[in-house]
Structures are given as structure tokens and as C-alpha cells.
Structure 1
Amino acid sequence: MQPASKLERRVVTAAEQALARQSFVSPLDVLTGMGWVPLGLVVDWRNGRAQHLEAVAVVSADRLNAALEVFQRWVAARGLLPNEVDYLAATRDQRPLRFTAAGDAALELTYRTHWMPPDLPQRQRERLTARQSKPPDLVVVQPLKTFTCVSCGRTDADMLTMDDAGPLCLTCADLDHLVFLPAGDAALTRRAKQASRISAVVVRFSRSRKRHERQGLLVEEAAIEQAEQECLSDEDARARRRERDRERREAADERFQEELAEEIGRLFPGCPQQRAAAISQHTGLRGSGRVGRTAAGRALDPDAVTRAVIASIRHEDTDYDKLLMAGLPREQARDRIRPDVDHLLNQWRNPT
């Protein structure tokens, strides 16, 4: 499928990136990738705080449907295989989530269908299917502001869960027997959750990042005690495993940076070898959030590689940083140094 319109290009780009990142793609992946359904509002919908997905979208239902039509054509052109998934709310009743205001059965099915490549190994397909079909965790919120429980009128509780009528304190939600286990120890958290007959993920909204962030778990006290004993019994083995994992990650990063440097050399044969290596190390640094750590960058997408090279030229070979420090707005600074960037790019693409 050759994307022609702007909508088609955006849909196909979001779909391709999701497929490369996770080996499957869903309509929701595409809409969030396009920015039409903000991820923070998706959390509200999944937690039962919105009646349907269309209610949290930033575009009309007609625009959503148009994007879905493009997505369906792309799916058919790629020959992907369907897999229907249940979307359940992260509430005590785990009720089915709705995507549309009208509740049209055919459109709801379209949203619930995930798509996988036909050449995906069967075992990987089964793992993905099991993960996608797993019921969501119950969610408890640490509110930033005082709230009033809709059941008992209490205003001094430090955690809440959402009910159809509004916020409930943990006592009214029958969760007050659980103990808070802060995040930080992955093994302890995993084992405590497995040992607890009921658990809930505790989140708090971050104003700076504009999203709910995980703070820990609510689990049964006996489950924490059991998990602590299990962690003490194999602490040395887990430490050795962490060290092996760290070494594997470092080796993987080195291989990726070498591949990225080679791709820079292929696209820009005039780029000095040492410079290509420096760009790959900088943009591919784990945890940096730079172009090299994106799905497109990891896949060595030519556009992503080119953006990494442009960013390096901008900072290392132009007055861009000086212009910013002088107070010039970012876009104006980029416009001013663009001829210098283009000139060096052309030299590196077409060495004499």
C-alpha cells in the first residue's frame, strides 16, 4: 500500500512503528501513535473513568472512523493475521470497555482486533495472545488533592478507587485490608503479587510528565512476608543473574552502535569514520531518549538515522547552541543555521 494522503501517511507510519516495536498492532496503537487519543486519557478510559474511547479522543468519531478505514486497507495489504482481544476495565467488576458512543457491534470488533505478521513463530504468537488477553490490574490512585468518598463522605483518606458513582475510599471499596508495598524491588513486587489473592496497582499523577505513574502495589500482608522470605533465600543467585543481564545489555548496545555507525557510513559516505562512531554512541545511549533509542532508530530507519546526523551537525558544526543561549527561539535558530546543515549533509552524502 502506497500512502498518498496526509492521513494515510500518518496512519501507516504509526502502524509500522507499532508493529516493529511490539510484533503486533491494534487500532488503539495507531490512534495513540497519531496523537488522536492521548495516552493519559486512555488510562482514564481503561480505569473506567470514561464511558467510551470516543469520549477521550481529540478528534471527531468521523475522523477516527476514517483512520480505521485506512488502517484496515493497510492490514489487508500487509497480509496480517487477526486476533480478537477482550478489553476489560481495571475495576473490581472488570466490565467490558466500550470504544464507540453508539456501540456498533462491527466497529467495536474492529477496535478489539489486533494484527500479527503471518510469519511470526507460533510460540511467540501464543505468548502475545496470552499477554493481550490478560485481565487488567485493579488500579488505586494516590490523589493530589483531597477527595470526598461518595459512599461514606470521608475526606481524609490517602488513596481512592473509582466507582461509577465517583471516588471510593479503600474502606468502602473493601480494599482496606491490603498493605502498601512501594515500588523499587522488582523481585519482591512480583512475588508478593503472585502470593496475594487480591492486589491493586497504586498510581499517582505526575504534573510534569502529564501521566499517571506507578508507585507500588496493594497486597495482602501475608503475601509480603512470603515474598520477603523467598527473596532472602535466592538473593545471591539473583545478583549473579542481574550482572549477566547487565553484560548482555552492554554487548547488545555495542552491537547496535556498531550497526548504526555502519548505516551512517552507508547513507553519508563522506562522514568521517570517527564522527559516525561518535554520533552512534551519542544517539544510541540507553535511557537517553534520543533518536537512536526510538523504535525507528533501533530498526535503522533511514529517516531516523538522518535525524541523528542532523542533530549532531546542528550542535557540533553550527552556531545553533550560541543562538539559543542568546535568547533566539528554537525554530528561528534552526532556520538560521539550516543552510550550514544542508551544506555539510550534501558534502557527506556526495563526497568528491
Structure 2
Amino acid sequence: MDLVAPVVVEPLRRRRCSECLRGPLERMIVEFNSPVCLDCADLGHLVFLRRGDTALTRRAREGSALWAVVVRHNRRRTRYERQGLLVEEAALAEAESACLADAEARARRRARDAVRRAAVDAEITGVLLAEIVRLFPSCPADRATEIAFHASAKGSGRVGRTAAGRSLDRGAVTAAVRASVRHVDTPYDSLLMGGVPRHQARTRVAPAIETVLRAWRLGGESAPGRGRG
């Protein structure tokens, strides 16, 4: 048998119950074109559940032997729009408990997922760090670690997060190291702040970058100090 839920209206203007004359009414039903309060309509024991939480609404409706749809007229759209439901209080309480249990389960799942993602992130960073050290054995340990963390930062879109970076493409790893050297060991940033166009600034600092990379690759030379000034 198909269920036909009562429809309860939130009136836009002051209305009184046609039976008990109580008013103004917050919510009412309409019988024979007359307003009737919820108590007279035998719906006064129900509690209002505002729309918005789909799971809570579904559970409360399924657990309630009697429920009603609450609507309000939207003058601009010239139609009635659902505001929520009236449900039995016990059904709502049970639905809230079930949703709370779900929320706790979701929180535990998010925590587990976060741990797994952190492990994956650490693995990506560790593998990238090992490749930086292999390609540039004289790169200072703290710099290699800094470059690996920076290049593999989650959501950054940097080389460690690209397919080439994850596959340890030599060019991609070298690009990450070169970018670090550009900003840390040359006056590149100062040139940009001084108004030098980016391509010109890169051309100016290219020899200094190659000097540092060459020293880090060979493993026998000491890398130059910072070029900022």
C-alpha cells in the first residue's frame, strides 16, 4: 500500500485554527479550505526535523509510524517548497543515535585513511630523497631532505607529485634540485624583486646554478656558498 503523508503548511500570514481558534499558527494543515492546528489534526505530538541531513531524515521517517511533510509557499517562485518533516520524537532520537554512530565510524575511517596517506607521502619523499642523493652525492644532507620534502608536498603539483617525479625520471629530479639552487644559492629572487624579467634573471644565474650542480654531482668539490646579496 502506498503511503500518503499529511502535508503541513507554514503560513506566510497570521492564521487561527478553525476548530479551537488558537493562533497565530506556526504550522497547520488545511481541511476543507480551513486552517487546522496540529493539535486538532492529531499531529501535535510530532517534532520538526529541518531538511538538510539526508541520512537523518531518511532514518527518522522510516522509524516513525506517523510523519508529515512540512512546506512553505515561495512567492517568488510561486510554488510550495519542502522545509522538513514532522516525525515521532522517539524515531528522531533513534535516527540521531544511528547517524552519530555513522559519524564516529566515518571519523575512524578518515583517521585510518590519513595514516595511509601519510605513509604513502613519506614513501614518496623517501624515494625522491634517495634519488637526489644518488644523482648529487655531495648535496648537503639537510638540503637534499629539504628539496625532497618541498618537491613531494601533497597537493603542490610539484615534480615529486608528477608521473615523471614518481617514476624518478632523471630530468624531473634534476629540475627539482635546480629550482632549489636557483632560489637558495643565487641572487635570482633579488633580481626578480629588482624588476629584472624572469627569463633574463634565469639567464644571469644559470652559470652559478650549473657550478653548484656540478660540484654536487662530482662528489669531490665543495659547492659554492649562497649567491644572495
TM-score, scaled relative to structure 1: 0.35
Q: Do residues 299 (structure 1) and 167 (structure 2) align? A: yes
1:320/1:238 Cα in 2 relative to 1: closer, same or farther (>3 Å)? same
What is aligned with 1:289?
A: 157
From 141, 146, 149, the counterpart of 1:278: 146
Q: Is the 8 A contact 2:124 2:160 kept in 1?
A: no
Seq. identity, %: 54
Cα separation, 2, equivalents of 1:231 and 1:341: 58
For residues 300 and 278 of structure 1, the distance between their equivalents in structure 2, rounded to whole angstroms, comes to 17
Q: Find out whether 1:339 has 2:210 as its counterpart.
A: no
Q: Unpaired segments of 5 or more residues in structure 2?
A: 1-51, 56-81, 83-94, 221-229
Counterpart amino acid of residue 177 in structure 2: V
Counterpart in the other structure of 1:268: 136
Matches within 5 A, 1:69-80: none
2:196 maps to what in 1?
Answer: 328
Deviation (angstroms), 1:233: 5.0
Task: Give RMSD over aligned pairs.
Answer: 2.5
SS in 1 for 2:112: helix
Counterpart among 154, 164, 181 of residue 313 in structure 1? 181
Tell me the distance in 2 between the aligned counterparts of 1:233 and 1:243: 15
Native 8 Å contact 2:181 2:209 kept in 1: yes
For the pair shown, which has the larger CA radius of gyration, 1 or 2?
2
Question: Take 2:194 and 2:99, find their aligned partners in 1: how far apart are those partners?
Answer: 54
Give how far 1:297 is off. Answer: 1.0
Post-superposition offset of 1:239: 0.4
Match of 2:18 in 1: none
Deviation at 1:334, TM superposition (A): 0.3
Three-state SS of the structure 2 residue aligned to 1:235 is helix
Aligned to 1:258: 126
**1:248 paired residue among 116, 120, 135:** 116
Mapped to 2, the partners of 1:231 and 1:247 lie a distance apart of 24
Q: Which has the higher contact order (CA 8 A, sep 6+)?
A: 2
Displacement, 1:351?
2.0
The separation in 1 between residues aligned to 2:175 and 2:99, in whole angstroms, is 45
Alignment partners' CA distance in 2, 1:245 and 1:276: 28
Paired letter, 2:133: G
What stretches of structure 1 move > 2 A for 4+ residues in a row? Answer: 228-233
- Measured in 1, the distance between the counterparts of 2:135 and 2:127 equals 12
CA distance in 2, matches of 1:264, 1:351: 13
Alpha-carbon distance in 1 for matches of 2:99, 2:134:
49
SS at match of 1:234: helix
Q: 1:237 & 1:301 partners in 2: Cα distance?
A: 40
How many residue pairs get aligned? The number is: 130
* 1:1-352 matched pairs, under 5 angstroms: 234-352=102-220
Tell me if the contact between 2:136 and 2:217 (Cα under 8 Å) persists in the aligned partners. yes
Which residue of 1 is the match for residue 44 of structure 2?
A: none
Deviations 1:189-230 (A, max 9, x none): xxxxxxxxxxxxxxxxxxxxxxxxxxxxxxxx9xxxxxx988
Correspondence for 2:43: none
Distance in 2 between the 1:292 and 1:329 partners? 27
Shift of 1:299: 1.6
1:241-276 deviation per Cα after TM superposition (whole angstroms, max 9, x unaligned)? 001111111111112111111100111111112211
Deviations 1:170-194 (A, max 9, x none): xxxxxxxxxxxx9xx9x98xxxxxx
Letter of the structure 2 residue corresponding to residue 327 of structure 1 = G
